[in-house]
Structure 1
Amino acid sequence: MSDLLEGFLGTSVEGKKSRVPAKLDYVQSATGLFLGLFMWGHMFFVSTILISKDFMYTITKMFEGSMFFSEPKPWIVSAIVLFVFAIFIVHAMLGMRKLPNNFRQYQAYKTHMGMMKHDDTTMWFTQAFTGFAMFFLGSAHLFTMAVKADEIGPYGSADRMYSDFMWPFYLLLLLAVEFHGGIGLYRLCVKWGWFEGEHAKESRKNLKKAKWAITVFFLALGLLTLAAYVKIGYEHRDNAGEAYKPTAQVEARYDVKVRA
């Protein structure tokens, strides 16, 4: 009965406000922090293609357990992706609580944003918009990676960009992820008082500068990485679908043929 009353009134029978919204906020913050940090790590992983195809291949196989098994196990990557996907869905569902649920609420927010002309208010709108886009773009990407983990690699990823013409999709995903994640991590710092110091206003200004610097850095890194995959995919277009062979393996086979 007390749960029923709390559901209607938002307070318990003792007159105390429900702690559920605060707990949901905490879970939303925790999942957002995890996804934001994962996003940075993921970007560094995919950008290894800028160093060399061999290096990207080595890192890919490392995630597939090559250090522990005689043969790489792509299902390990699939399991990791599904775990991240689950956190992604939880975060998205909790984030939807904060979105305007009808035109009147949206109109009120737009009016408020126009009157305030406050950077943080505008950034929230950008975060909400990119978050909505990411619900579809991110879900499609994570699902693809989960079911096609064995295709991740220098040629597999490059062929997907060029031969499968997926680079426009990943360009949109890159923009949505970097803006949403960067703003989200900034707002987490402000909300929970991280790095606040003695002068909150000055700290917020510095956080905002750091946020934009990080966003520009990862956008530049992401665009360079995307361009590298498209270039490799273009060069590999006549052999699309072919698995990548590390230089060491190719040289070893060539040496055996020469000796024979």
Structure 2
Amino acid sequence: MSELIEGFLGKSVEGKKSRLPAKLDYLQSATGLFLGLFMWCHMIFVSTILVSDKFFNQVVDFLEGSMFFEPKPIVTSVIVTLVFAIFFIHALLGMRKLPINFRQWQAYKTHMGLIKHGDTTMWYIQATTGFIMFFFGSAHLIMMIFKADEISALHVAYRVVSQNMWIFYIILLLAVELHGGIGLYRLCVKWGWFEGENAKESRKKLAKVKWALTAFWLALGLITLLAYAKLGLANDGKPVPPKTHASLIIKSDKVGM
């Protein structure tokens, strides 16, 4: 136990510098990169509602293995559980670098106000949104694990309108896009990705790309949320019958044709 504690402090029992902090940094970067890219893929997935609710349901069935067998929600539960595990590990690793008490937060805010440095401010936003995500992101993922059979356009529309989940989704959208976008930017800066001959100019360009991407994903997310709200209102906010899985909705549509 003492070896582990001293490893976190950066020294081994023999007094030598430990490699553990560096390894944890690599793991934090790797999990952050995975989650950032997953976040974008997830946004593309949920935005398929902009094509049509039927297309969204077809995508759900495809991701649940419809090319191999009858679509099974358990596939979604397994995938989301793995994502949740990576999310939890990333959160624990990120907590290592957060101020641990109010006085440290106050000192950081004073420092940030004095130097007025863009990257310092972005770190503060990232830390704050990360704290929000720990609760909102966990709640969302847990709900998807245990209610994987309720992923369809109508189910989401019902949650958005009749259960007032639009408030939850807006907060989660803002936290995810700000945290993830800043995180990917900081990864590029930290590891020297896309760095040209002039590091300072490269960082400025990366920051512009980062804010452009954040604006794009936020706009797409809000438009997507409006599409679900529109569908929910068109359905008079009626609850979806239990066990109305996406594949069953598609089959009933085909029968009606």
- Tell me, yes or no, whether TM beats 0.5: yes
- Alignment-mate amino acid for residue 97 of structure 1: R
Report the equivalent of 1:125: 124
Normalised to the residue count of structure 1, the TM-score between the two structures is 0.91
Matched, 1:49 2:44: no
Aligned structure 1 segments of 4 or more residues deviating by more than 2 angstroms: 1-16, 242-246, 252-255
Report the equivalent of 1:253: 255
> Percent identity at matched positions?
66
Runs of at least 5 residues in structure 2 that lack an aligned partner in the other structure: none
Deviation at 1:104, TM superposition (A): 2.2
CA distance in 1, matches of 2:5, 2:57: 58
Deviations 1:231-250 (A, max 9, x none): 1111113542143623x753
CA RMSD across the alignment: 2.0
Deviation larger for 142-151 or 228-237:
228-237
Deviation at 1:11, TM superposition (A): 2.4
- Alignment-mate amino acid for residue 190 of structure 2: K
Report the equivalent of 1:63: 63
Report the equivalent of 1:212: 211
Deviations 1:159-200 (A, max 9, x none): 111111111000100000000000000000000000002111
Equivalence map 1:28-39=2 (5 Å): 28-39=28-39
Deviations 1:38-81 (A, max 9, x none): 00000000000001111101100011111100x11100000000
Equivalence map 1:101-250=2 (5 Å): 101-237=100-236, 239-242=238-241, 243=244, 245-246=249-250, 249-250=252-253
Q: Would you say the 8 A contact 1:29–1:188 is kept in 2?
A: yes
- Aligned residue for 1:178, secondary structure, equals helix
Report the equivalent of 1:98: 97
CA distance in 2, matches of 1:192, 1:212: 19
Deviation larger for 237-246 or 78-87:
237-246
Report the equivalent of 2:22: 22
Change (3 A) 1:114 1:57: same
Give the number of the structure whose alpha-carbon radius of gyration is greater: 1
Q: Would you say the 8 A contact 1:162–1:237 is kept in 2?
A: no
CA distance in 1, matches of 2:53, 2:256: 19
Change (3 A) 1:7 1:201: closer
Runs of at least 5 residues in structure 1 that lack an aligned partner in the other structure: 256-260
Q: Would you say the 8 A contact 1:138–1:173 is kept in 2?
A: yes
- Aligned residue for 1:47, secondary structure, equals helix
CA distance in 1, matches of 2:8, 2:237: 64
CA distance in 1, matches of 2:7, 2:170: 43
Deviation at 1:202, TM superposition (A): 1.0
Normalised to the residue count of structure 2, the TM-score between the two structures is 0.92
Report the equivalent of 1:258: none
